[in-house]
Amino acid sequence: MKKERVNVSRREFLIHSTAIGAGFALGMYISKTDNTALAAEQAAVGDVPEVNAWVVIKPDDTVVIRIARSEMGQGTLTGLAQLVAEELECDWAKVTTEHPTPGQSLARDRVWGSFSTGGSQGIRGSHQYVRKGGAVARQMLIEAAADDWGVDIEECRAVNSVITHMPSGRTTTFGKVATAAADLIPPLEVELKDPKDWKLIGKSVKRLDTVDKLTGKQVFGADLQLPGMLNAAIKACPVFGGKLKSFDADKVRAMPGVQAVVAVDDNAVAVVAETWWQANSALNALPVDWDNGPNAGVSSETIAKMLDEGLDAREAFIGNEAGDVKTALENADKSVRATYAYPYQNHATMEPMNATALWTKERCEVWCPTQNGEAALQAAAEAAGLPAAQCEVYKIHLGGGFGRRGAFHDFVKQAVAIAKQIPGTPVKLLWSREEDMQHGHYHPITTARLVGGLDKDGDLVALDVRISGQSILASVNPNWMRDGVDMFVFQGMMTEGDHAISYSVPNLLIDHAMRNPHVPPGFWRGVNVNQNAIYMESFIDELAHAAGKDALAFRRKLMDNNPKGLAVLNAVAEKAGWGKSVNEGVYQGLAVCKAFASYVAACADVSVDDSGNLKIQRIVAATDPGHAVNPQQIEAQVEGSFVFGLSALLYGECTVAGGAVEQQNFDTYPSMLIAEMPKVEVIVMPSGGFWGGIGEPTIAVAAPAVLNAIFAATGKRIREFPLKHADLRPA
């Protein structure tokens, strides 16, 4: 007997299927007649109706999985497809993907949830509802087959894109029943698989975007070509807060290819030409007069003075507090004190900021690499002076993001502002490397003073950490702050949660004296856990040394209440051979932290010759992200994060003179060379029960592990960065 279907209205279904944790309505069914956006989508896939918002299945059994999050090399595209395909029970060999647009999502009650890809949230922030999307589609396909056969749906199973009626052995394929399934009302409730039954999640399947990248088929924003397109180069005031006074367009109008010279807002000027090279050449020849404004006298030295003052300020925001630190330090048998400092750093994505815009009085369209399609759509609508419903953003793969293309869409606004002055013509704005270097939203600059108290047995009884420096949220989104406190500042040092401190200290105070120079801060891969892990893990090593204790044993004693953190620490120590003989001249250092809900640890092997030349030989890394969707991708992310984190440690520094960032290109802001990259051994050890991040947590442990190994090799503590300034000759 067939199971009775309940007729549910679209509105009722939307109310009942709100995404867990995110507050997004999952409208997985929309009729063929009530939505123009859906009709356009169906036309785009050859009139093949969608089963639901996440899944389109073609007659040849090709499965198109829609992915709202952005792909920027981290593998989110493949990982999210695995989550949907697992519950869908489709043939992975026939899976492909496509990006819905934020305009389509807006028209469909934000059916795909969040488009934001940052904070290591791509998978951990959407796993529940994307898996539900796959499970609902599977159930609808099975129901369509059961209806066709006149059997009970409970007697049918789906495996590898084939539906089987178990009693009779009769089979059909997804492609044959997809059209009928699309007409069904989706079930309100579906049961997701138990992790023990996963067949695709947890497997190192090949990435879905590799072939296109290897063959050059993949289009990035800088590659985009549209009919009749013009190209723009832009130059903004070199000092943040400065203004554009004037420019002499007549000097460059006759140069080859030049079509227009336009002001952009009140602080930039752009040249539009037939090619970008022509536009940039004319821009460099353009006489421009800037008003550098009140920040023209700011320098790295004045910023450092501002932050140093914060170390002794009476007022500070408390992020973590326990016991009575002041009394415990006064009564400690021994105290240890150190001050660390971390500089501004640029995202330095390989692909500079860019966007292509087409504006008319009725509509604005933008093609751009973005970590947040919805934020890009909002930026486009604001700049266009049009309702969001009359705008659209088409997401393109990113040639690097690292946070720069997430909360900040200045390049989108600029592209639209330029296109408005050339209506009906697509204009591609591409920043030069120099513009990209000098107009970023930089890793925040901070300094920290740490004081620790040891008892007569060498145990840590008190820890006082004062952070002085920038608040990202104060600049980017003050609404996220709590009573004036930017809790992001305390990542890796919080009382509990995704960024909890790794150690139990009976008397603890961690606070923040907010000091905000004019150089804008931004979310930079790993955000504040980068410097906080250096501060904490380097100082824990200093305390262990002062106590005359082994660095591993000292940490273990402080981690009784952190079994998962202890597990990853023990794993790297064992694999790296901590405490055992290593090659002559090779020294080791440890680091551990919790960030973005994952537990991570590292052990670095380094050598330093008599001339002070550093060689990072190997880093063993361990991560427990709870669930590991694609272990091979996790290994690649860890390796890539170490390239980023070690480059920052060795070379990453933006300095300020005359109010402007001094670095202009990779000659003054280099990345580490291939020859400098250590061997990386990754231990993926998912313990289950939670979903942690991958792309950002592990970046934090590489630098402090190396720093602690440098001390073991040289007897020197490095407390200011980058290392290119340090004398590493053994003491």
| Residue-wise pLDDT tens digits, 65-100 | 999 999 999 999 999 999 999 999 999 999 999 999
Residue burial 663-694, b: 16+ Cβ < 10 Å; e: rest: bbeeeebbbbeeeeebebbbbbebbeebbbbb
Give the mean model confidence (pLDDT) for residues 684-695.
Answer: 97
pLDDT tens column, 487-514: 999 999 999 999 999 999 999 999 999 9
Nearest to 623 by CA among 684, 566, 688: 684
Which percentage of the chain shows pLDDT scores above 90? 92
> Please, what are the domains in the chain?
10-194 (3.30.365.10), 223-293+353-430 (3.30.365.10), 313-345+442-725 (3.30.365.10)
pLDDT tens column, 515-532: 999 999 999 999 999 999
pLDDT tens column, 606-647: 999 999 999 999 999 999 999 999 999 999 999 999 999 999
Q: Which band of pLDDT confidence, cut at 50, 70 and 90, is reported for residue 46?
A: low
Task: List C-alpha distances in Å: 106 to 378, 387, 391, 518.
Answer: 11, 12, 11, 35
C-alpha–C-alpha distance, residues 160 and 174, integer Å: 9
pLDDT value of position 47: 66
pLDDT value of position 244: 98
Cite the DSSP H helix spans in 197-271: 210-215
Q: What is the residue-wise DSSP string for 427-486? A: EEEE--HHHHHHS--BBPPEEEEEEEEE-TTS-EEEEEEEEEE--HHHHH-GGGSBTTB-
C-alpha–C-alpha distance, residues 286 and 270, integer Å: 10
Q: Could you tell me the two tokens for 85?
A: 């395909």
pLDDT value of position 731: 81
Give the mean model confidence (pLDDT) for residues 153-165.
Answer: 98
pLDDT over threshold 90, residue 25: no
For residues 24 and 110, is the Cβ–Cβ distance under 8 A?
A: yes
**CB-side neighbour CA atoms (13 Å) of 561:** 10
pLDDT tens column, 529-579: 999 999 999 999 999 999 999 999 999 999 999 999 999 999 999 999 999
For residues 111 and 37, is the Cβ–Cβ distance under 8 A?
A: no
If DSSP codes are grouped into helix, strand and coil, which group holds residue 146? helix
For residues 70 and 374, is the Cβ–Cβ distance under 8 A?
A: no
For residues 707 and 534, is the Cβ–Cβ distance under 8 A?
A: yes
pLDDT over threshold 70, residue 233: yes
C-alpha–C-alpha distance, residues 616 and 330, integer Å: 39
pLDDT value of position 49: 82
Q: Could you tell me the two tokens for 135?
A: 């499970």
For residues 373 and 395, is the Cβ–Cβ distance under 8 A?
A: yes
pLDDT tens column, 94-129: 999 999 999 999 999 999 999 999 999 999 999 999
Q: What is the largest CA-CA distance in the chain?
A: 84
| The total number of residues written for the chain in this structure | 731
pLDDT over threshold 50, residue 29: no
Strand partners, 235: 269
If DSSP codes are grouped into helix, strand and coil, which group holds residue 318? strand
If DSSP codes are grouped into helix, strand and coil, which group holds residue 487? helix
If DSSP codes are grouped into helix, strand and coil, which group holds residue 78? helix
Residues with Cβ within 8 Å of 211's Cβ and at least 6 positions away in sequence, in order, are 217
For the chain, the average pLDDT equals 93
C-alpha–C-alpha distance, residues 129 and 69, integer Å: 13
Tokens 């990202």 belong to residue: 472
C-alpha–C-alpha distance, residues 513 and 474, integer Å: 13
Q: Which band of pLDDT confidence, cut at 50, 70 and 90, is reported for residue 44?
A: very low
pLDDT tens column, 379-408: 999 999 999 999 999 999 999 999 999 999
